[in-house]
Chain A
Amino acid sequence: MKSTFSILNVVIACSAGLVVLLGYFIPALANIREILLQWAVILAGFALLAGVINLLSVHFKKIGKGKIGGIYSLILILSFIAAVILFGVNGPDGSWSMLLFNSVSVPVESTLMALLTVVLAYAAIRSLRKGVSWYSILFLVTAILVLLGLAPIYGLGEIPALKELREWINGVPIVAGARGILIGVALGSIAAGLRILMGVDRPYSG
């Protein structure tokens, strides 16, 4: 029974994937492709809902087990309930909803963004501590040159040579490297998609 169910999953997944791919090239399948993509959007919406329920269940269990940090889980659940009620009653664009968003969500995300700046600056220095190699030196020197080319230096202002160097770094080696990486990423993505279409990779109960 289990194997029949697995085979059915593979058949459905592979056929849906094949129809969507062929719909890109064969006009007769374009409508079916659109319908399948719309279904995918609806399913993604339900998946988000299921994900949120899962998130709440994890935090309920954390509170139930009396784990350290359970108070944060309680805050998360209470905040979630309050936000659902407020956004439900007031609407997503209502004044109270916007007040909650602007006074809680935005500052918290901005704080994490600011923390990220410090973390990244520290990481650049720490990368040298991991072991000095030609690559790590090149990485750090390029980062410093690009930064100096972007920001005017105190007392000296903008240095044209540094600006030109930054433009050259951005326009030649970075673009070349980025394109090389992107080609590898694109080929990898196509290969992953083809393996799923062939039924070799089954990121579902297959």
Chain B
Amino acid sequence: MNLNELVVRLPDALFILVFLGMIIVFFFLGRKRTIRKFREIPAFAHLKRSVGLSVEAGTRVHFSLGRGGISGLTAGIGLVGLTLLDRIARATSSSDRPPVATSGEGTLAILSQDVLQSAYRNCNVEGQYEPDAGRLTGVTPFSYAAGAMAAIKDEQVSTNILLGNFGSEAALIVDAGEQSGGLIIGGTDNIATQAVLYAMAQEPLIGEEAYASGAYLGAGPAHIASLRAQDILRWVIAAIILLGALAKLVGLL
């Protein structure tokens, strides 16, 4: 790595440091606040209700984590999916039928088992844990979808959550979920699949909404702090883009 490369990467380092600093500041500022107001995202309100109904009715929640893995550009949404899976597992820990998590990538499958076990252990119901609840259903897009569809059909699922990196095969999983008659919530980092989910899922999560799940489902003050930092930085970036366009329009750039 030469000096030029370092100079090129300096803004990246600064951006990450600023982001980290904002999260830490908002975390300490927001720790004592008991009332928090968020923009309403209907998907999360419906999810809470649907999960509660699943516990009462003795049906399962199906969680699809996609095929993104935990390295590379698609890692972010996979990790967010695992965080949400942890929240769902805790919320359904009193149910006879624990959630089932399907994934199309090995590391996600293992981590989903680990997350489920860890959530039950923290709720003192480790006996409820089933190793098969976190499963790899296929390693190609359509074999993964076919396996997830079978899980929806076989496991008496009443709530389907798709949160991860998917291709257009997500349409087949959503269709199977719709046939089972349950609620379907879908969020992904893939833009083309977001269009598919917008058309098909009952509650699509568009863009950064999928990344806000922790803050909306009470995962702790750090999630709220990071959401606030995200919001502010998004406005800053949008302002910079608009100013750049304006400067180009008047011939300054």
Contacts and interface: CB of A to CB of B under 8 A. Distances in A.
Interface of A: 2, 21, 24-25, 27, 30, 37, 40-41, 43-52, 54-55, 57-58, 61-62, 67, 69, 72, 105, 108-109, 112-113, 115-116, 119-120, 123-124, 126-127, 130, 139, 178, 180-185, 187-196, 198, 200-206
Given A47-B107, A193-B76, A24 B117 contact: no
Contacts of A180: 207, 238
Contact of A203 (B111, B132, B199, B233): B111
B208 interface: yes
Contacts of B142: 108-109, 112-113
Contacts of B123: none
Nearest to B74: A189
Interface string B227-252: 10110011001100000000000000
A183 B234 CA distance: 7
Interface of B: 1, 6, 9-10, 12-13, 16, 19-20, 23, 69-71, 73, 75-77, 79-80, 82-83, 86, 103, 105-107, 109-111, 113-115, 117-118, 121, 131-132, 134-143, 145-147, 150, 153-154, 168-169, 171-172, 174-175, 189, 191, 194, 196, 198-200, 202, 206-208, 210-212, 214, 219-220, 222-223, 226-227, 229-230, 233-234, 237-238
B71 A40 contact: yes
Contacts of B171: 116, 119-120, 123
Contacts of A196: 79
A31 to B, nearest CB: 11
A203 B107 CA distance: 11
A124 B83 CA distance: 31
Nearest to B168: A116
Given A184-B207, A203-B82, A51 B106 contact: yes
11 contacts: A52-B139, A109-B143, A126-B199, A183-B238, A189-B189, A191-B211, A195-B222, A196-B79, A202-B118, A204-B111, A204-B114
Given A123-B200, A200-B222, A205-B118, A189 B75 contact: yes
Given A47-B110, A191-B23, A127 B199 contact: yes
